[in-house]
């Protein structure tokens, strides 16, 4: 007697960041078929993007092919495509391949972890002149801008033009802004200090603008104060209570706390604050009737499902639940939880499901060589000990043994000698026309407000309620 063939339950995961990757891993050896769809073919360790941008780590040390990471998961299929919408009644995800061809992905369960993208709070024109840092393309673009600025200063014979190219302005003093500002000062004073003959690279100005009262405000007044003192000691010009009102090809305009405006010329302007949900969030909300917060994130119930649609779970940076910050740890834990809930259902385990509970393992920010700040519950650590803890955390969470070993060896060389081996950049015709932000990121995206829990900023640099989960 022939038995009817029963197809396995099909789970579609949108996003290959921390949330999507940890969800896919949780389905190992489970009786389900999983399709992981992402617009990129790699998993990116976003917390170290700034080290790729500044020339310490290579792209291969912070990014691994999704297929390689999931090689031992025989029930997981990886698909390079960008999800564009969801047919909720038909349970189909609509996506588009890189060649423009449409793809339809039927599902029994859907996990959406498409992350967030850079936000300029209604001033999208700023993106052309002040790139954010959410993807590998962004990091490589910023690397090109930084090292190219020194080369253009060296090639100039006009002191005023040299000063223009040696001025770097960063908007937003959250973790990424602080880390990137510190890296640029290290490049100028340690890496290339003696390599130029016409300019003194060590005189490069790094200005860090923050509309609030403190840098790294989410770390509390003690660690924030220590971070500010370290930044000023290494030469970063920290401008607190200063809001950015305009950005163009030659610099930016700011307004101080007294209401006076100031025009600042800068060869390089970088945007390190503000996130918003990708267009997929809007499409999903429209299709399901889900509520969105002011940043466009999807409001979920304690089980990470959309109310009225238990087959759809939203995880990572794209979910809005109990004001959870956009941290990598939140993405990892929520992705794992969503997958385990589906797995328990498939395996018909008894007992009522428990709501999602986030376990806070703390936050860390690198300031400069030998200096970092760490916050974990009631513990507050800074200085050299904070730096050692920062090293341990990032080594532990890097994906893959080879990536960990490679990063450790690279750090040993970079931190002991100041050498940065990843300084190559391609000067292309678009160098004179800054590229805009190229899309969403996923799973603990390293926008400052998101990665370590600081609130995103509005265009004035003040905490933006829209950025609260």
Catalytically active residues, by annotation: 179
Residue carrying the six token digits 């801008």: 145
Q: Return the closest-CA partner of residue 215 out of 176, 251, 186, 187.
A: 176
Rounded to an integer, what distance in angstroms lies between the CA atom of residue 364 and that of residue 388?
A: 11
Task: Residue count of the chain, please give it.
Answer: 469
- Decide: 169 and 252 in contact? Cβ < 8 Å: yes
Residue 97's Cβ-count burial label (10 Å; 0-12, 13-18, 19+) is: middle
Q: Return the closest-CA partner of residue 272 out of 105, 127, 107.
A: 127
Q: Return the closest-CA partner of residue 41 out of 24, 21, 66, 23.
A: 66
Rounded to an integer, what distance in angstroms lies between the CA atom of residue 109 and that of residue 339?
A: 10
Q: Return the closest-CA partner of residue 60 out of 412, 400, 469, 467.
A: 400
Rounded to an integer, what distance in angstroms lies between the CA atom of residue 38 and that of residue 465?
A: 29
Rounded to an integer, what distance in angstroms lies between the CA atom of residue 173 and that of residue 81?
A: 34
Q: Work out whether strand 261-265 and strand 109-112 pair parallel, antiparallel, or are unpaired.
A: unpaired
Q: Work out whether strand 251-255 and strand 243-248 pair parallel, antiparallel, or are unpaired.
A: antiparallel
């Amino acid at each position: 007697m022939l038995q009817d063939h029963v197809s396995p339950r099909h789970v579609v995961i949108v996003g290959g960041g921390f949330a999507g990757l940890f969800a896919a891993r949780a389905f190992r050896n489970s009786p389900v078929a999983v399709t992981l769809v992402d617009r990129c073919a790699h998993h990116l360790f976003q917390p170290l993007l700034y080290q790729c941008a500044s020339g310490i780590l290579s792209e291969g040390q912070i990014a691994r092919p999704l297929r390689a990471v999931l090689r031992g998961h025989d029930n997981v299929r990886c698909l390079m495509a960008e999800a564009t919408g969801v047919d909720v009644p038909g349970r189909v995800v609509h996506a588009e391949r890189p060649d423009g061809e449409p793809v339809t992905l039927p599902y029994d369960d859907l996990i959406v972890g498409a992350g967030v993208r850079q936000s300029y709070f209604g001033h999208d024109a700023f993106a052309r002149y002040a790139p954010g840092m959410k993807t590998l393309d962004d990091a490589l673009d910023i690397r090109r801008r930084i090292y190219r600025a020194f080369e253009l200063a060296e090639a100039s014979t006009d002191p005023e033009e040299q000063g223009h190219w040696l001025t770097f302005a960063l908007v937003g003093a959250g973790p990424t802004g602080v880390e990137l500002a510190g890296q640029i000062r290290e490049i100028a004073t340690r890496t290339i200090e003696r390599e130029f003959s016409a300019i003194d690279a060590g005189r490069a100005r790094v200005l860090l603008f923050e509309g609030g009262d403190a840098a790294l405000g989410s770390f509390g007044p003690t660690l924030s104060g220590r971070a500010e003192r370290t930044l000023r000691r290494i030469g970063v010009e920290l401008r607190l209570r200063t809001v950015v009102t305009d950005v163009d090809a030659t610099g930016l305009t700011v307004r101080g706390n007294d209401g006076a405006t100031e025009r600042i010329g800068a060869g390089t302007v970088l945007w390190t604050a503000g996130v918003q949900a990708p267009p997929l969030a809007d499409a999903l909300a429209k299709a399901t009737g889900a509520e969105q917060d002011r940043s466009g994130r999807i409001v979920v119930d304690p089980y990470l499902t959309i109310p009225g649609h238990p087959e759809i779970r939203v995880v990572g940076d794209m979910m809005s639940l109990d004001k959870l910050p956009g941290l990598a740890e939140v993405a990892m834990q929520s992705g794992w939880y969503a997958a385990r809930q589906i797995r328990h259902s498939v395996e018909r385990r008894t007992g009522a499901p428990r709501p999602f509970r986030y376990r806070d393992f703390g936050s860390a920010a690198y300031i400069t060589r030998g200096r970092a700040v760490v916050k974990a519950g009631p513990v507050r650590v800074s200085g050299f000990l904070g730096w050692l803890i920062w090293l341990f955390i990032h080594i532990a969470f890097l994906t893959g043994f080879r990536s960990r070993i490679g990063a450790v060896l690279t750090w040993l060389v970079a931190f002991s000698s100041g050498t940065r081996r990843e300084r190559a950049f391609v000067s292309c015709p678009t160098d004179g026309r800054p590229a805009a932000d190229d899309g969403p990121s996923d799973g603990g995206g390293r926008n400052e407000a998101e990665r370590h829990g600081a609130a995103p900023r509005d265009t004035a640099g003040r905490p933006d309620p829209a950025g609260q989960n």
